[in-house]
Amino acid sequence: MLLPILRLVPSPARTADAWVRLVGLLAAGALTASCAGVARPNSPGLGRVPIQIVELYDLAAPDGVMELEIDRDGNLREIEADVSVLELPAVVADAALRHLPAGRVVGAERELTSKGPAWEVKFDVEGRGWEVVVDEQGRIIETEQSLSLREAPAVVLASAERAIPDALLLSVELIRRGDESEYHVKRERLGVSYKIVVAPDGRVLRRVREARAEIEIPLRD
């Protein structure tokens, strides 16, 4: 059984945190047309979810993590799941290894977003965590670099602390997409993990609470 993480993203109009049941979230979510699923016969239940969730569930590592990011209006922003590195297409693995030739591959993820599918290759580079996101054609579209506390900009740390006060700092990542960058700061308060996305100038772009849940889907015949 996969244990997914649900990331509930606040919209500007509604920022209050809320515990949301998995079924309710998934029934409301849908990817845009670029990731639209094939219709299946209706069955009793609360509603349908994108078929990509079922397909990714089948591809995912059985003992891995599956993450769904959903905004406050119920729109499904992103799905990703741990997969075996053996699932990586050769063009993806080659592109990631060229980008970080000194790195050691330690994991992989499959990602689905409204911009299209991609693969995430996880590296260890001299003890530092790196992630390289590659599209189906082998183009690098994003990198994620773990930072030490000393490397993280003070303005970013201060903004994250104001966003989620009285919390323990867990990690900081620098995310680069072309010429753009942002920071992902994780903090923990009362056993609950939060992610704060911060611009280089200290603006808080969004805050999410990471909730653990379970997905149960019948196995394929």
Over residues 7-27, the pLDDT tens digits come to: 555 444 333 333 333 433 343
Lowest mean per-residue pLDDT among 16-25, 82-91, 201-210: 16-25
Q: Does 40 score more than 80 pLDDT?
A: no
Residue 194 within a domain: yes
Q: What pLDDT was estimated at residue 13?
A: 38
Q: What is the pTM of this model?
A: 0.80
Domain span including residue 63: 5-212
C-alpha pair distances (Å), 199 with each of 27, 78, 173, 185, 205: 32, 20, 12, 11, 7
Q: What pLDDT was estimated at residue 46?
A: 85
* β-strand pairing of 76-83 with 192-198: unpaired
Dihedral angle sign, alpha carbons of residues 11, 13, 16, 18: negative
Q: What pLDDT was estimated at residue 195?
A: 98
Residue 141 within a domain: yes
Residue 221 within a domain: no
Residue of 7, 2, 3 lying closest to 184 (CA atoms): 7
Residue 108 within a domain: yes
Q: What pLDDT was estimated at residue 74?
A: 92
What's the rounded Cα separation, in Å, for the pair 172 and 155? 13
Question: Domain holding 100: CATH number?
Answer: 3.10.450.360
What's the rounded Cα separation, in Å, for the pair 182 and 154? 14
CA angle 80, 82, 85 (to 5 degrees): 125
Q: What pLDDT was estimated at residue 200?
A: 99
Residue 81 within a domain: yes
Q: Does 113 score more than 50 pLDDT?
A: yes
Average pLDDT for the chain: 86
Q: Does 206 score more than 90 pLDDT?
A: yes
pLDDT digits (tens, 9 = 90+) for 191-201: 999 999 999 99
Q: Are 207 and 192 in contact (CB under 8 A)?
A: no
The structural domain count of the chain equals 1
Query: Is the model more confident about 89 or about 31?
Result: 89
Residue 218 within a domain: no
Residue 219 within a domain: no
